[in-house]
Amino acid sequence: MKKFKLKKRCGMCSGKDFFEILNIGEMPPANAFLEKKDFDKEESFPLGVQLCKNCKSLQLRQVISPKLIFQDYCYATRASKPLVEHFHRLAEEIANNYVQSSNDLVIEIGSNDGALLSKIKDRCRVLGIDPASNMAKTAIQEGVPTLVEFFDTKLSEKIKSEMKEARVIVANNVMAHIEDLRDVFSGVKKLLSPEGKFIFEVHWVGNLLNEGGFDQIYHEHLYYHSLHSLQVLLNSLGMTVNDVKLVPIHGESIRVYAGNSGTSSEAVRKLLDCEIEMGLLDTKTYQNFSKKVESNKGKLNKLLAKLKKDGKKIVGYGAPAKGNTLLNYFKIGPEILDYITDTTPSKQGKYTPGTHILVVSPEILLKDLPDYALLLSWNYADAILEKEKELRKKGLKFIIPVPEVRIVELCNDKPFENLANFSINSVAKAIIP
Ligand code: JHZ
Ligand code: ZN
């Protein structure tokens, strides 16, 4: 099996000319948490993003074999309560708006531990598809039939012959991960009924550029999509983007509703206009983004160095995949962070890829009471700050690295009870040395 290759052509338009945007350097796959005994076997691969000169799609320069990354996968949807709630809301929407009879089929590509489908499995036929056998096992235990496979056109034909057409195909946080997106979209088109809906969420490149969420760049994410780039591909296959929503998950994602029929809504036109206004089709916007990342790196490293010099104890909070881009690129290791807490059982007791910081269960925080927690799962900041108010009352301060480096502490004049719906800014106090 060839582990890694450099891309020669753009996967969206087949263009051959690129601008280099950001070079992260070498790092291991972001979800390859490892045991101490495996440190010397760890493999790193180059990581950098480029912009296609022709279609302006932001993409990785290199592709790691998907088998290497996804067959044994440690990311579990169920470990993040806000994410589960988000998918449960989507499951409700699908059941209420699209499922008409218990014989209708809802398929999920990249179904992970089955968190979404388990919510609608009693209302229609469901089928999960995911190459990670460990995650599929959990899904099956939860009553979600799951095929341990990579989805492609060939598999879509097999499913169609055995189960008939799908009323809904849902795919969240996987369309950035697939090199041959044309083949996958073609498979979706074939498998979807004429009035069926293809509903998928991807992290939005507008958020990456605007909010500086550069840590979304890692080997799993081959593309950083805009609605423009997705629409060109879907239209070229005879599909229509019927509707779109910006959803506040992973920073900001776009949820696309596409189909084999119908027209495009006003929201589609508005988001396309907004992408043009934001400069998402303009090379300069991407070059400015890489400067912003460098400045963020300087600020965070300076802050952490100062806190360490002052004798403060700092830990990491959350060990998301994106956190490993930040830690590796900013060169933050165990000399800065004593450990990182994470709710995912399969990450606990292991070490972060590349930087080798121990991941432990969050219970340790109450006993240990560090001074600062670097919030690597910044996308759930509001929920986490609310959840950890006892710790914050005891003096733990959170450092939020994205989009701007900020320290968040409780303001004395704010009663803790009123924090349920606060936004980060309402209690944030920036102390940048
Ligand atoms: P989270 C994943 O990336 C992986 P990650 C994937 N490649 C992808 O495309 C993106 O999503 C979009 C922990 N946690 O969801 C659980 C706590 O410890 O931001 C998770 O390990 N305490 C498919 O990994 C991590 O943080 C908490 O209270 O960047 C969050 O990972 C909460 C809420 C989470 O995705
Ligand atoms: Zn292109």
Query: What are 171-184's pLDDT values in tens digits?
Result: 999 999 999 999 99
State the pLDDT at residue 104.
Answer: 98
Cβ contact 304:333 at 8 Å: no
Q: Which ligand is nearest to the CA of 73?
A: 1
In sequence order, what are the beta bridge partners of 125? 105
Percentage of residues in the chain with pLDDT exceeding 90? 84
Q: Which ligand is nearest to the CA of 55?
A: 2
- 361 within ligand 1 shell (Cβ under 6 A): no
Residue among 75, 109, 254, 357 to mutate when testing ligand 1 (max atoms within 8 A of CB):
75
- 166 within ligand 1 shell (Cβ under 6 A): no
CB-side neighbour CA atoms (13 Å) of 286 = 23
* Alpha-carbon span 326 to 357, nearest angstrom: 13
Q: In the predicted model, is pLDDT for residue 429 greater than 60? A: no
Cα 176 to chain centroid distance, Å, stands at 9
User: Averaged over 232-256, what is the pLDDT?
Assistant: 94
3-state secondary structure (DSSP) of residue 225? coil
Q: Which amino acid is at 79?
A: A
Residue among 218, 377, 388 to mutate when testing ligand 1 (max atoms within 8 A of CB):
377
Residue closest by Cα to atom 26 of ligand 1: 318
Q: What does the pLDDT look like over 88-145, one tens digit per residue?
A: 999 999 999 999 999 999 999 999 999 999 999 999 999 999 999 999 999 999 999 9
Which residue in this structure is represented by tokens 């959840």?
Answer: 387
CA 362 to ligand 1: nearest atom: 18
Q: How far is CA 124 from CA 98, 103, 166, 284, in A?
A: 11, 6, 11, 48
* Alpha-carbon span 307 to 165, nearest angstrom: 58
- 173 within ligand 1 shell (Cβ under 6 A): yes
Q: What does the pLDDT look like over 26-39, one tens digit per residue?
A: 999 999 999 999 99
Residue among 64, 69, 78, 80 to mutate when testing ligand 1 (max atoms within 8 A of CB):
80
- 83 within ligand 1 shell (Cβ under 6 A): yes
Q: Which ligand is nearest to the CA of 315?
A: 1
430 C-alpha vs ligand 1 centroid, how far in Å? 25
Residue among 343, 390, 391 to mutate when testing ligand 1 (max atoms within 8 A of CB):
343
Q: What does the pLDDT look like over 410-420, one tens digit per residue?
A: 643 333 333 33
Per-residue pLDDT band for 11 (boundaries 50, 70, 90) equals: confident
164 C-alpha vs ligand 2 centroid, how far in Å? 34
51 C-alpha vs ligand 2 centroid, how far in Å? 8
Of residues 408 and 416, more confidence is placed in 408
Q: Which run of H or E residues covers position 138?
A: helix 133-141
pTM for this prediction: 0.91
80 C-alpha vs ligand 1 centroid, how far in Å? 7
Q: Which ligand is nearest to the CA of 17?
A: 2
Q: Which residues contact 56 (CB under 8 A, 6 or more apart)?
A: 226, 228, 229, 280, 281, 282, 283
User: Averaged over 233-257, what is the pLDDT?
Assistant: 95
- 325 within ligand 1 shell (Cβ under 6 A): no
- 110 within ligand 1 shell (Cβ under 6 A): no
State the pLDDT at residue 408.
Answer: 87
DSSP string, 294-340: HHHHHHHHHHHHHHHHTT--EEEE---HHHHHHHHHHT--TTT-S-E
218 C-alpha vs ligand 2 centroid, how far in Å? 19
Q: In the predicted model, is pLDDT for residue 424 greater than 60? A: no
- 320 within ligand 1 shell (Cβ under 6 A): yes
Q: Which ligand is nearest to the CA of 249?
A: 1
Q: What does the pLDDT look like over 289-325, one tens digit per residue?
A: 988 888 889 999 999 999 999 999 999 999 999 999 9
Q: In the predicted model, is pLDDT for residue 213 greater than 90? A: no
Residue among 225, 380, 396 to mutate when testing ligand 1 (max atoms within 8 A of CB):
380
